[in-house]
Amino acid sequence: MQTNHHKILTANVHHLDQHLLSKYEERGGYQAIRKVLKQTPEEVIQEVKASGLRGRGGAGFPTGMKWGFVPKNLGKPIYLLNNADESEPGTFKDRLLMERDPHLCIEGMMIAAWALGANWSCLYIRGEYGYPAVRMEQAIEEAYKKGYLGKNIFGTTFSLDIVVHRGAGAYICGEETGLIESLEGNKGQPRLKPPFPAVVGLYGCPTVVNNTETLATLPWIILNGASAYAKIGTEKSAGTKLFSASGHINKPGVYEVDLGYSLLDFINNECGGIRGGKKLKAVIPGGSSVQVLRADELEGVKLDYESIKGAGSMLGSGGFMVMDESTDMVEACLNLQHFYSHESCGQCTPCREGANWVQKIVGRIYDGAGTYSDIPLLKSVTSQIAGHTICPFGDALVTPVLSFIEKFPEEFNTRIAQANGIPTFNTGEELSSQVLDAVSENAKNVAANV
């Protein structure tokens, strides 16, 4: 049985004609922007701050506070960028919004642009999202023809142009400064911060980068008020959140639930339980770059930023991946490392070289050729990646492999033991003296020198 939740983002996605401007308006669309244009930009920023809305792209930074960092009266244009480069493995929530309710995304961008004083905005969309890109382009064209975009919108002094820019399939362009570099025609490689984009962003001008889900939430907040939104969810995690549920569940898909909802109830109620009646083994709650959680760690955990953090992971982008008892965790780890090795932009040596090393070592363990030095070696290599790169990509590739080793050491160690002629191995993270005695002198020497 599905639990009732507030439908802020998905109220109309079931209507097959919701992508049309006329139908969007019939269902209450473009009323929030009309209301906003009667307010001052500062009033809108304060309303968003009071709502408690946090960025839905992964970091969870307060949206209104981010807007407040933009300096005033610099004499430079201000840009708003909609980050629709949804490339995090396991995440496909923004795709639903752009395909089913594109005008909601546009109206959210208009509200943010007014609050920031921006007259030009860009939807930067993942290159592989062909159909969502077409939907957004068609919706933007409709808005221009109706006079809702362009000059003097709704008879006011507000003018806004929106363009769609398709990425070239680089995961790193989901990082805001990598996205900005790409828009400028450069390699999609992140910048050092500071300066932050709010001060020095696109073309050296103040720039705000917000996620699609974040922006699409704004019309509801404006129409219903900040206090109404703040009452949903928890004190520190207000509102609803979209979760892209995938893996060994009966009903994969995108679900909108109130923040603070029980994680296990989400699996059983919204996701229809574990497929084939098997037992739950693990969950990655926020996309591939966050820590995996074992089934025995999930009791009492709720779907909000603080609860997931308390359990040892992150809410991230809401890429909710479920694994049952049949999952080979070494293989799952290797699958993720294939991705990160491929997607490193190559700018930072620790990441460029380390990503390949991590993939090779995990691959060696999976292929049955692992040695007893491999786990210490993985820890050594990852320690030289995390915190040593310009952007968080290095941490993102390190987090899954360390998490899998920590949470499922027996699966890694059993493969290594079997590769060295020992049929079973049931100890934890550290190798027992009994196993070490069974290893060749050469292997012991290698392990001792790592």
pLDDT in tens, 398-437: 999 999 999 999 999 999 998 887 765 554 444 444 444 4
Domain count, the chain: 3
What is the spatial distance between Cα 408 and Cα 365, in angstroms, rounded to a whole number?
Answer: 14
Same domain, 250 and 344: no
Task: Say what the pTM is.
Answer: 0.91
CATH of the domain at 62: 3.40.50.11540
Residue 437 · residue 421 · CB < 8 Å: no
Same domain, 275 and 185: no
Q: Is residue 92 part of a domain?
A: yes
Residue 140 sits at the vertex; the CA angle it makes with 138 and 141, to the nearest 5 degrees, is 65
| Tens digit of each residue's pLDDT (9 = 90 or more) over 213-253 | 999 999 999 999 999 999 999 999 999 999 999 999 999 99
Q: Is residue 252 part of a domain?
A: yes
Same domain, 296 and 345: no
SS3 257: strand
Q: pLDDT at position 424, please?
A: 56
Which one of 187, 202, 230 terminates a domain? 230
Domain coverage including residue 110: 21-230
Percent of the chain with pLDDT over 70: 93
Q: pLDDT at position 449, please?
A: 43
CATH of the domain at 307: 3.10.20.600
Q: pLDDT at position 3, please?
A: 63
Which one of 298, 324, 350 terminates a domain? 324
Q: Is residue 13 part of a domain?
A: no
Which residues, in sequence order, are bridge partners of residue 249?
274
Identity of the amino acid at 338: H
Same domain, 94 and 212: yes
Same domain, 300 and 411: no
Q: Is residue 16 part of a domain?
A: no
Same domain, 310 and 336: no
269 secondary structure, DSSP code = I
Q: pLDDT at position 432, please?
A: 42
| Tens digit of each residue's pLDDT (9 = 90 or more) over 62-109 | 999 999 999 988 899 999 999 999 999 999 999 999 999 999 999 999
